[in-house]
Structure 1
């Protein structure tokens, strides 16, 4: 019975990810068709690319679903080193591409842009999960607990056993450093100022958030109707990428926006429930990290669109246009689905999940 329940829950998450992707494909087409027709003379330009990215993501997810999560431990450090190298390459002239004031993309042949940071997030979670699992009780010491004070990693540290007073202390110490980084780059400081008072420069730094508010306000409860957005006519910047949630609110209204949020809530509840029922420390940390990454990015994106946080350039997982984000999100789901196979039921009887996969066996089959 438990196997049936876990299988049903796993397929429920797969359907959730697929539903978000389908919503994203429809909304990417709706939000980008006008700009695509004007720029590429093909209203379906971004739609075709997003569909292709979705199929690639599904393939990556299928492979990750079949690979025993313990096998990923041996790749944690090499992948982390590769991620650091990839992120560093972005800084080189003629290699890294600048958009929106930020240098985040690597141009491949001029036809495809890859964002190394998306894969680097997954590599960092793999590395930290392995690092914290190996440290064991030493995580409770102040020194080994000093890791980057980002939300997803704080959650992982807390689950791993770090003391909450140490985490708060790191946050206080990081404030001056964060401010220094913000003020160093002009586009970051302008985003912060726009967040504090967007109406001070409504045609400049505050333009994004004001247009986003107009889109959300125009949608009302039921929305203007699919394809009926007015903000997509070159009013709202990044309408098919970082601000696609505003177009969802405009065309599908509060009902559509809440439906998207509920899908992420379901993903969060499922992910953290799986984490609480895994028998080994590494699995708990990895599940917590990946779930927090997906849900945290969604919360941050919605926060930007609604004006709750400054503009960050974080896409909405599965929904925003972008191959790097979509493929990495599916990869995370694939790993989570594999982890869910070894979660024990509520009565506490753990499923067999060795911390290292048996050498004399092949890859475990899905239940």
Structure 2
């Protein structure tokens, strides 16, 4: 597990460095080092929080799960209150005081992982029945519904998918999870269809060439940035699409600037780092000493991998615009803080993993909850 933890740290460190370099490169012509300095402050806070979580036994958080869940729900409710939540571009997603802004939907991601891990650990036998699955479903529905009302459809969909994956891993049968997911997808589809802004995004994704001067301007310019980069890119700082052509080029669409300035080599390097992080995260999950740790590691890994995949798919026009940042790279303090907190939880699981534990061991425990394993708990690294 020491090697796995080192790989996680190495991948995250490279992604953070790449993010800071590309953030400065993409914004220096407009605001100089303003965004870089702010991101460095959030990065420092995130590293402190991640280091603290990595050093604390993750099992301690089981007793604080419902306190954290209640706090996140309270923040999500406050965001929707006029005069309290900040309304920007027609959406209430932030709480702020002066220049400080906090996005509660980002904090909901690690908290939802801990909450579902608690259900999988404490109520594993109940998840196989409809009576047992309604409680975690209610918890998930409350958080997803509040995020949806902001509105932040992309984050709400991602949280719903993350919850579905964790519930299936925890033991919930697909015959309950899939119908619930389909109902949610239909509801989201109806909302998007009647919402003019999001309907135009779908049209732009489907007919990008025809809408390149209107609703498809952003994804079309992102594709031009990726194409103009070629194999090795135009050179760091030499990108042209960041000069007002790609909106939000330092947040959700920073992957396009990476492709333009560093080329296919740079984008593939980012993809490989995320793939390595996901692979090692799943390995840590399979080696966790008990179900709670396994679900925490699997949830954090799924969350980071899924968000990265969605962001890169949006930039390359494989998916319609969702408004999700690229973890560790896009500008955004709340997103960076939450992602580094998730990495801290993952490292905490890795430090206390059992060398002999495996997926087969945990699955055997899930099929027979009364099975006793004669494995001593390992010492922390």
Q: Say whether the fold is shared (TM-score over 0.5).
A: yes
1:102 counterpart residue number: 91
Q: 1:350 to 1:315 in 2, by over 3 A?
A: farther
Q: 1:136 aligns with which of 105, 113, 124?
A: 124
TM-fit CA distance, 1:325: 0.8
1:58 counterpart residue number: 47
> Is 1:279–1:350's contact at 8 Å kept on the other side of the alignment?
no
Alignment of 1:61-72 (within 5 A): 61-72=50-61
The answer on 1:121 being equivalent to 2:109 is yes
CA deviation string 1:121-176 (max 9, x = no partner): 11111111102221112211134335358221121112111222332222222232
Q: Which moved more, 1:71-80 or 1:201-210?
A: 201-210
CA deviation string 1:81-131 (max 9, x = no partner): 11111112111223322334432122222x122111110111111111102
1:352 counterpart residue number: 377
Structure 1 CA distance, aligned partners of 2:229 and 2:200?
28
Structure 1 CA distance, aligned partners of 2:223 and 2:85?
32
TM-fit CA distance, 1:18: 1.1
The answer on 1:8 being equivalent to 2:3 is yes
> Is 1:342–1:350's contact at 8 Å kept on the other side of the alignment?
no
1:308 counterpart residue number: 318
1:137 aligned counterpart, secondary structure = helix
2:4 aligned counterpart, secondary structure = helix
> Is 1:343–1:350's contact at 8 Å kept on the other side of the alignment?
no
Structure 2 CA distance, aligned partners of 1:267 and 1:260?
11
Structure 2 CA distance, aligned partners of 1:287 and 1:185?
36
What stretches of structure 2 of length at least 5 have no aligned partner? 141-156, 359-373
> Is 1:274–1:343's contact at 8 Å kept on the other side of the alignment?
yes
TM-score by length of 2: 0.86
CA deviation string 1:168-223 (max 9, x = no partner): 22222223211233245433333222222233332221111101101111111111
Q: RMSD over aligned Cα, in angstroms?
A: 1.9
Q: 1:317 to 1:104 in 2, by over 3 A?
A: same
Q: 2:238 aligns with which of 225, 228, 231?
A: 228
